[in-house]
Amino acid sequence: SQQGEEDPQALSIQEGENATMNCSYKTSINNLQWYRQNSGRGLVHLILIRSNEREKHSGRLRVTLDTSKKSSSLLITASRAADTASYFCATDARRSGTYKYIFGTGTRLKVLA
């Protein structure tokens, strides 16, 4: 599997339900970020979580990071139709000389009204 691989690939839920997306990665990281992308649009930064943090909240979003399992999860509570989008995690490749981000293929979330 690739660094920063999301699971599931697609998720369809009813408005008001919670949505959970997972991300796994392979190498050690400095931080992990979650982004949202509406169809055909740019990236919207959601949350950055550093490697020494375990959980972070922002409004209806909750991100956890487990560095021992090399995984992160994004929870969206009380989902809305406007949350319909693709969600990507991105990890920085902690190799000397470069700080590129490696993105997964994304989870396509559909929230039904």
By CB under 8 A, name the binding residues for other proteins.
4, 30-31, 33, 35, 40-43, 45, 48, 88, 90, 92, 97-106
Query: For the purposes of burial, counting CB atoms within 10 Å of the CB of 16, is it exposed (0-12), middle (13-18) or buried (19 or more)?
Result: exposed
**CB of 18 or CB of 38, closer to other proteins:** 38
| Distance of closest approach, residue 13 Cβ to other proteins, in angstroms | 20
**CB of 15 or CB of 56, closer to other proteins:** 56
| Distance of closest approach, residue 16 Cβ to other proteins, in angstroms | 28
| Distance of closest approach, residue 86 Cβ to other proteins, in angstroms | 9
* φ, ψ for residue 81, nearest 5 deg: -55, -35
